[in-house]
Structure 1
Amino acid sequence: MTPAGAPLIGIIGGYGRVGGVAARVLTAECGYRLRVGGRSADAAWSLARTLGAGSEAAVVDAVDSQSLRHFTRGCATVLDCSGTAFVLRGAVRRSVLAAGAHYVGMTDDGGPRTPYGPATAVLFTGLAGTLAGWLPRLLAEGLASATCFDGWYGGLGPVTPHTAVSGLLARRRALDVPAGAWTGARTGGGSPDGPFDGALTAAAPTGPALPAPPGGETPLAARESPPPWPLPARPAAIHRILPEELRRQMYRLCLEEARWREAFPGPATPAVLDRLAGRPRGALDARTLLGVARELSRASRLDAESISSYAMTYGTLDGLTPDGLTVRRSALMHCTDVSGLAGVIAAATAHEATENRLTSGVHVAADTLPPEGTADWIVRHLPRATVRRTEIPTGGTGRTTSTPVAARRPG
């Protein structure tokens, strides 16, 4: 039974694929009162009835400021899963913050990241970038210091155009790493935002330089090592980048080096991303970006027709324990429900904001996710999801530090 005095969270687009998962997780995990909103009253009430007595439904149109104000009334936090934030250029965020509620947007609205009042705003900057910022924080828990991070992301699944917008905006903010130059090294000074004002440089390659083929796609044979999971027997693009979210963690964890690669099975999705990679950084206006996002959405559906969806993230972190032992930690996260993973991230972020654990101002989701808590929520709420971690002392053997998933959740 949800307590009558529990905080109220409003979810715009609450009956969609991401919003629906977030609603169920917030109900099961935290016992919040929920207001499920969207343009369809029937769909909103259909989900609200399954969530229990503490949930209600409301019709809301994100385009209508008066409708937004009415929906926000009484909410501690509004979770925006509608996908319209970028089209409206931050209008939903401004309206929610003006009403005194916290705002969590599951689409990067592309607006300025300047504070607006005392409340908190958190923006989702794409699944790959969010995981790139969260994973080193998970691996660094309890370490006295850390030096080098090496990470991978691979995913396949249909995405909506508005979800694709966040990923595309994140890629525009990322730094491309030339073939053969695998490491982004933090050489001193700098800021958690942007490319450290020139202090972030590409390290010298460990082997002979490898020419990048046209379009930016790198043959697997040209890599130093394969990804830590088998790639499908189809064309795949391997992109070496340093996401904004990882650069921020380089600064905050005082990392000396960081590597990040993204593997995209194709052929349709890599082809779209490769064409985008050939454009100048400032060449995409809002209309063009939406057009590319629709194209990427169609490509993702084509690629996912014959292969089950999945998202996999793997990373290693070298560091020092409080008792002076040098170790290498690794973590592998795998799930088969990509929208569900985004829903869990949405729920965890909304929970942090509602509990007033975040400072006022604008944040990105990768900086706000509780490292251990998010891993636990992923395993508990996504069937067949796994988060496995190991720790290997230098020169020693590894030991598993996470509970086997089979012991936590069947199926």
Structure 2
Amino acid sequence: MRPIAVLGASGEVGSAAVEALRRLGLGPVRLGARNRARLQAAFPGENDVVAVDVTDAAALRAFVRGCAAVLDCTGPSYELGEAVPSAALSEGVPCVVVTGEQPVFDALTGAGGVSGETPVVLSAGTLPGLSGLLPRLLGQNYGRVSAPSSGSVTSGTSPARTGASLVVHTGGRERATTTVAADLVLSLGTVADANLFGEAGAAWREGARRSRVLVPDDDVEEPGFPGRVAVQPFLSLESERVAADLGLRSLDAWHVHPGPAVRSVLATLPAAQQANTPMAELTERILRAAEIDLTGRAPYYRMVLTLTEAAGAERSALVTSPDSYRLTGAVGACTVQQVLEGQVPPGVHFADRVLDPQKLVKDLATADPDTRIDLVQGGAEDEEGAL
């Protein structure tokens, strides 16, 4: 059997992805990371272990050659870009990337586009990924809108409005990685960054992104999250795609930060960005703060999504997980499963627009048994819920 190549296998997400693939009965696996000794320590007795630098195009092509699929768990995406999916495409190997947003999509599809019969799925993690698939699952109640083939969003051209509104809260208390810390810095982005990743303070209103609609709050209570938390509004490009495809009247998306140390650092980041503080220093501040917040406390990660239809009926998705890294690895593994089963057509796609959300949520129960996803309708658990 041809192996499934996992890049970044020794990291938090990569190691979780390997375990998830095995729970799903997929394999064998070929494990790749920059440090072979660390890989061998993480996976003792594993034979197909390769030291590979993702910045070396020739080494990447050699690593993925002959594989059934590639699962890219490396990061951060803003630094590595399209390196891994480009190598996979050159070898005709399907690729799943747990990160990767509009800049990666544009790089892969621009300058001649992508030809052949090879599928690539981007943003196949927790956020983005599951955060875009769950609204589509909730939206199936009033008729899912077929997603366009394009990877971009054109404001004002969404399907007929449903009149529904969506509110999303995501976050938790957990140890940060360099990739997650960098994402937090980017989530404070300005209007100038909005076409690359998203926009802080923006929200979706009546068919378009609107700037400076929402403001952060550093001391609030939010349903589904214990204690008092800080919330940071951020409208990602994934959220815009979902809002446009489902014809939503409004969409508010919030990052939730329970830990006081991380909240304190986040409050200083806008000024630090204006002072041109290097990204490496900003991420290091977040890494230290996250460790402080975890001292003596159990980690957790949660997602709370509530869709309210025009008539007032509500349907919610509640996600409870030990941490987002395990969940991201599991979502990536479930995406690989759909690719191998032939459910993803050739070309470059975002996960939220191409995957079957109901199948993915059900498969997650196997891939990550410690994560619980409940669907709640009108205050009562849906018959499909408690997956």
Per the TM superposition, whether the score is higher than 0.5 is yes
C-alpha distance in 2, partners of 1:263/1:133?
17
Deviations 1:14-69 (A, max 9, x none): 23321122112222214333211224445545666778xxx733332323333212
Q: 1:354 to 1:47 in 2, by over 3 A?
A: farther
Change (3 A) 1:59 1:242: closer
1:208-263 CA deviation, whole Å, 9 max, x = no partner?
xxxx6xxx44432xxxxx41124336xx3212232221111011111111122222
- Work out which of the residue numbers 199, 211, 223 in structure 2 matches 1:175: 199
Secondary structure at the aligned position of 1:113 is classed as helix
Map 1:329-344 to 2 at 5 A. 329-344=315-330
Aligned equivalents of 1:243, 1:140: Cα separation in 2? 19
* Equivalent position to 2:282, from 279, 285, 292: 292
Alignment equivalent of 1:185, drawn from 201, 205, 219? 205
Structure 1 gaps, min length 5: 188-198, 206-211, 221-225, 406-411
SS at match of 2:79: coil
- Summarize the Cα distance change of 1:372–1:398 in structure 2 as closer, same or farther, 3 Å threshold: same
Q: Which aligned pairs between 1:9-408 and structure 2 lie closer than 5 A?
A: 9-41=4-36, 44=39, 56-83=48-75, 86-108=78-100, 111-114=103-106, 115=109, 116-118=113-115, 119-124=118-123, 127-144=126-143, 146=162, 147-169=164-186, 172=189, 173-177=197-201, 184-187=204-207, 199-201=208-210, 216-220=216-220, 226-232=221-227, 236-277=229-270, 288-319=278-309, 327-392=313-378, 398-402=380-384, 404=386
CA shift in 2, pair 1:294/1:354, >3 Å: farther
Q: Aligned-pair distance for 1:139?
A: 1.0
Offset, 1:360: 4.2
Measured in 2, the distance between the counterparts of 1:154 and 1:85 equals 20
For the Cα contact (< 8 Å) 1:37–1:44, is it kept in 2?
A: yes
The alignment covers a number of residue pairs equal to: 355
Cα distance change on mapping 1:104 and 1:25 into 2, 3 Å: same
RMSD across aligned C-alpha pairs, in angstroms? 3.4
Q: What is the match of residue 191 of structure 1?
A: none
Judging changes above 3 Å, is the alpha-carbon distance between structure 1 residues 327 and 401 closer, same or farther for their aligned structure 2 residues?
Answer: farther
Q: Structure 1 residues 151 and 65 mapped into 2: Cα distance closer, same or farther (>3 Å)? A: closer
Corresponding letter in the other structure for 2:339:
A
**Contact 2:3 2:27 (8 Å CA) reproduced:** yes
Cα distance in 1 for residues equivalent to 2:357 and 2:9: 25
User: Helix, strand or coil for the counterpart of 1:31?
Assistant: coil
Q: Which amino acid aligns with 1:353?
A: V
Relative distance call for 1:164 and 1:284 in structure 2 (3 A) is: farther
| 2:200 and 2:234 in contact (8 A); partners too | yes
Deviations 1:347-385 (A, max 9, x none): 122333344433444434444443223322333343542
Contact 2:168 2:306 in 1 (8 A): yes
Q: Which runs of 5+ in 2 are unaligned?
A: 145-161, 190-196
